[in-house]
């Protein structure tokens, strides 16, 4: 069984379009994350939700809007896509406590903006 | 600001060579430390983690890492690498941020192992 799944795996689109990436976890975790991995493989957190509530919001443009309909899902909607949005987006989940934060990652969504 | 530094961006080794990848972090508080691996075209997988206790931790696939608090380091080692170890390796630090844990990743080290 897939623990953290993302759809789609690949997404190719034109500049200016709006697109969404979906993430689901079946681990029963309370916290979910979105990371962006750029072309140099640098991995940076974008957002985190705990039980549907936004808890981490790094300096990400307003065009990016996460939505968590329930604690097992965290979707990422991107408006007015730009060339610089091309990257691999990883979803992750964890069951946090103050001593432990192992995160489980999804397979990634490779977004290409033309 | 908190940061994680991985000194080697690209490492090329022959099979059976020994490996050591450096990782330093800048944060004075209590940290949890991780090494993740990303095989070509795949997602990140946890190699090993340190929370407390014995500073020498052993992970999967023969990897180990040593936490040296005085040096703010958490270097990854493997005595004899294999071709299948070719991957990107990420060091990460878990910090408390607003009451929640946040992972800060290093820039990654790309390891290429030649047969």
Query: Whole-angstrom Cα distance, residue A105 to residue B103?
Result: 12
Contact A67, A77 (CB under 8 A): yes
Answer with the residue of higher pLDDT: A56 or B47. B47
Predicted local confidence at residue B42, as pLDDT? 86
Contacts of B42 in chain A (CB under 8 A): 107
Q: What is the mean pLDDT of residues B62-69?
A: 95
Predicted local confidence at residue A40, as pLDDT? 83
Predicted local confidence at residue B99, as pLDDT? 67
Residue B9 DSSP symbol: S
Nearest neighbour of A96 by CB, restricted to B88, B101, B110: B101
Min Cα–Cα distance to chain A from B30, Å: 9
Read out DSSP for A1-36? --SEEEE-SEEEE-TT--EEEEEEE-S--SEEEEEE
Using the Cβ of B89 and the Cβ atoms of chain A, whether some distance falls under 8 Å is answered with no
User: pLDDT tens digit string along A11-49?
Assistant: 999 999 999 999 999 999 989 999 999 888 888 999 989
Answer whether residue B106 shows pLDDT above 70.
yes
Predicted local confidence at residue A1, as pLDDT? 61
- Mean of all residue pLDDT scores within chain B: 91
Contact B22, B6 (CB under 8 A): yes
Contact B65, B91 (CB under 8 A): no
∠ at Cα B109 (B108, B112), nearest 5°? Answer: 145
Predicted local confidence at residue B8, as pLDDT? 86
Answer whether residue B1 shows pLDDT above 80.
no
| Yes or no, beta carbons of A45 and B102 under 8 Å apart | yes
Q: Which of A37, A77, A36, A71 is nearest to A54 (CA)?
A: A71
Min Cα–Cα distance to chain A from B94, Å: 7
Min Cα–Cα distance to chain B from A82, Å: 23
Predicted local confidence at residue A98, as pLDDT? 47
Contacts of B44 in chain A (CB under 8 A): 43, 90, 92, 105
Pairing state between β A109-113 and A10-13: parallel
Count chain A–chain B contacts defined by CB atoms under 8 A.
59
């Amino acid at each position: 069984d897939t623990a953290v799944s993302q759809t789609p795996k690949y997404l190719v689109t034109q500049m200016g379009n709006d697109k969404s990436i979906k993430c689901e976890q079946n681990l029963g975790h309370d916290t979910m994350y979105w990371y962006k991995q750029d072309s140099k493989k640098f991995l940076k957190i974008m957002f985190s939700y705990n039980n549907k509530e936004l808890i981490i919001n790094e300096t990400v443009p307003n065009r990016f809007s996460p939505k968590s309909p329930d604690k097992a899902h965290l979707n990422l909607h991107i408006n007015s896509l730009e060339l610089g949005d091309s990257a691999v987006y990883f979803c992750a989940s964890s069951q946090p406590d103050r001593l432990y934060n192992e995160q489980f990652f999804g397979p990634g969504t490779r977004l290409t903006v033309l | 600001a908190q940061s994680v530094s991985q000194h080697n961006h690209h490492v090329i080794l022959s099979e059976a060579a020994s490996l050591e990848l450096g990782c330093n972090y800048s944060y004075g508080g209590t940290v949890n430390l991780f090494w993740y691996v990303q095989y070509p075209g795949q997602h990140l997988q946890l190699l090993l983690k340190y929370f407390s206790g014995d500073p020498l931790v052993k992970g999967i696939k023969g990897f180990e890492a040593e936490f040296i608090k005085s040096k703010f380091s958490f270097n990854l080692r493997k005595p004899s690498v294999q071709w299948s170890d070719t991957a990107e390796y990420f060091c990460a630090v878990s910090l408390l941020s607003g009451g929640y844990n946040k992972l800060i990743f290093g820039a990654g080290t790309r390891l290429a192992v030649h047969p």
